[in-house]
Amino acid sequence: MADIAFSSVEKIIKVAAKIKEAVDTVKQNKEDCDDIERCVARVVEILQQLDQTTVNPAMGGTLVDLAKSVDKALGLVKECQRKHIIPHLWGASSMAKKLGRVQEDIARKLLMGNFATNVSVFRTLHPQDAGAGTISHGHLTRDARPEVMNSQKGKTTVVATVSRVQSDPLSGIKKFSFSQLEEATNGFSHVLGRGGFGIVYKGVLHDGQDVAIKKLLISGDFPERSLDHELNIGAKLQNKNVVKLLGYCLHTEMEEYFLVQEYMPKGSLKRIINASGLDWPSCFQIIQGIARGLHYLHKQRVLYMDLKPANILFNSKMNPVIIDFGLSVVLDGDDDEITWNSVAGTMGYIAPEKITRAKISMKSDVFSFGVILIEIITGRRVTPSSDIPEWGSLEMIRAFNGLFDPALVDESKLVEINKCRELG
């Protein structure tokens, strides 16, 4: 499998060179072809971090599929080299769609198995540690880390350029002792969920307040500074649609770190979408709540980076609450975007520019929100193979129009539905 993977890498690099050469002589869809060339060049930059001794065998299938997509891109670019006798606007538009789809296809295949993340951290991780787990209840999801370290020839560099809050993140946040948390959880007996970097427990404080206690392990792969990062962000946020950080505990003897947060008793948006059956007022309330929470985060200069149904929980009043800031970053000064050299997030919700470009902004979160909005309205979940551009097709529009019976929904509600559909 390693030989297959490495041969696929070589093929992709060779085809990328042919695409670069062909783009110089295209006679139609020049801008779209330039986008393809930049996208494939980005892929090559990632792959050139690998050599034959470091190609993870688990990447074999992804690399084979990726090579096929890049080869398909070359075929389309070559078609654009031909000069048509009677050029048609429709033909150029059709080709633009084909080029756009193959570019999205390349992006999706890069995301398979957190492909780009595996490439950037492979030299510093043992293969058995490369995967990251998720928590079924949504209290803990960790698909990547806020900082990815890449060591080469003795040098260690940060591959993501982001800001860090320098003030003391712990001011105003209660520090719990380990014994207090042990008592609150009845000896850590009530597990809400498990993940690759820790466990979430249900707890009850002395005052009777229900809490979620998130235990994270401190290790070389997930250092204490990354935990400080989540504290930095969580301590400054105060909004009803953003999870409230109540306290923390550092158990140095066992190298365990705990975050104490609000408990969300009504489960996750992921569960609700799977169950479906929501009426429109409930859907609209959820959409508004998520939008308000995301708007608040952006006003605080926070890029969330991993908005998805599993990271949206519901409190006792069924208000949606955004949780888990392990991947979030704070924009520095007047910056509107950041440079991010690794893929972070969840497939199906990641904005295309996270793959095709190195710059990420608040628009990336808005893209994820749009996907979630469509899922809420339709009751259909996005899968890794979903073709997001096709969600705007005539078939999908007809499906939207049939979701709500006009006889059962008044005109003002239909206006809301259509506005949300268009926004998504």
pLDDT digits (tens, 9 = 90+) for 152-181: 333 322 333 333 334 455 666 899 999 999
Q: At residue 87, does pLDDT exceed 80?
A: no
* DSSP annotation of 388: G
pLDDT the model gives residue 62: 77
Query: Given the structure tokens 């109540």, which residue do they identify?
Result: 246
User: Domain 132-262's class?
Assistant: alpha beta
pLDDT digits (tens, 9 = 90+) for 23-67: 999 888 888 898 899 888 878 877 776 654 455 555 677 788 889
Q: Hey, where are the domains in the chain?
A: 2-123, 132-262, 269-423
* DSSP annotation of 244: P
Using an 8 Å Cβ cutoff, are 227 and 209 in contact? Answer: no
Q: Which residue in 306, 324, 336, 387 is the catalytic one? A: 306
Of 118-132, 198-212, 367-381, 390-404, give the range with the top mean pLDDT: 198-212
Nearest Cα to Cα of residue 377 among 294, 273, 230, 289: 273
* CA separation, residue 91 to residues 79, 96, 97, 231, 392 (Å): 11, 9, 10, 53, 20
- What is the percent of the chain where pLDDT is above 90? 30
Verdict on whether the full-model pTM lies above 0.75: no
CA-to-CA distance for 364 and 91, rounded, in angstroms?
30
pLDDT digits (tens, 9 = 90+) for 184-241: 999 999 999 876 567 899 999 999 999 999 998 665 555 555 667 778 888 889 999 9
The single-letter code of the amino acid at 18 is: K
Q: At residue 257, does pLDDT exceed 60?
A: yes
Asked if the domains at 132-262 and 269-423 fall in one CATH topology, the answer is: no
Q: Dihedral, CA atoms, 110, 112, 113, 116, nearest 10 degrees?
A: 10
Q: At residue 362, does pLDDT exceed 60?
A: yes
Q: pLDDT tier at 342 (50, 70, 90 boundaries)? A: low
Of the candidate ranges 78-87, 321-330, 361-370, the one whose mean pLDDT is the lowest: 78-87
pLDDT digits (tens, 9 = 90+) for 347-359: 788 887 666 655 7
* DSSP annotation of 112: G
Q: At residue 407, does pLDDT exceed 70?
A: no
| Secondary structure percentages of the chain, helix, strand, coil, to 5 | 45, 15, 35
Q: In this structure, what are the phi and psi dihedrals at residue 83, rounded to the nearest 5 degrees?
A: -90, 115
Nearest Cα to Cα of residue 195 among 34, 39, 324: 324
pLDDT the model gives residue 411: 60
Of 5-14, 78-87, 227-236, 365-374, give the range with the top mean pLDDT: 365-374
- Domain 269-423 fold is Transferase(Phosphotransferase); domain 1 (1.10.510)
pLDDT the model gives residue 141: 39
Average pLDDT, the chain: 74
Q: What is the mean pLDDT of residues 78-104?
A: 72
Nearest Cα to Cα of residue 238 among 172, 189, 142: 172
Tokens standing for residue 51 = 């050599």
Question: Is residue 215 marked as binding?
Answer: yes
Q: What is the mean pLDDT of residues 270-286?
A: 83
pLDDT digits (tens, 9 = 90+) for 110-145: 665 344 333 433 333 333 433 333 333 444 433 333
Q: At residue 288, does pLDDT exceed 80?
A: yes
**Number of alpha carbons in the 13 Å side-chain half-sphere of residue 381:** 14
Of the candidate ranges 98-102, 320-324, 377-381, the one whose mean pLDDT is the lowest: 377-381
Q: What is the mean pLDDT of residues 280-303?
A: 93
Using an 8 Å Cβ cutoff, are 416 and 373 in contact? Answer: no
CA-to-CA distance for 248 and 139, rounded, in angstroms?
15
pLDDT the model gives residue 246: 94
pLDDT digits (tens, 9 = 90+) for 300-326: 999 998 999 999 999 999 999 999 888
pLDDT the model gives residue 295: 96
| Annotated catalytic residue 306 | yes
pLDDT the model gives residue 216: 81
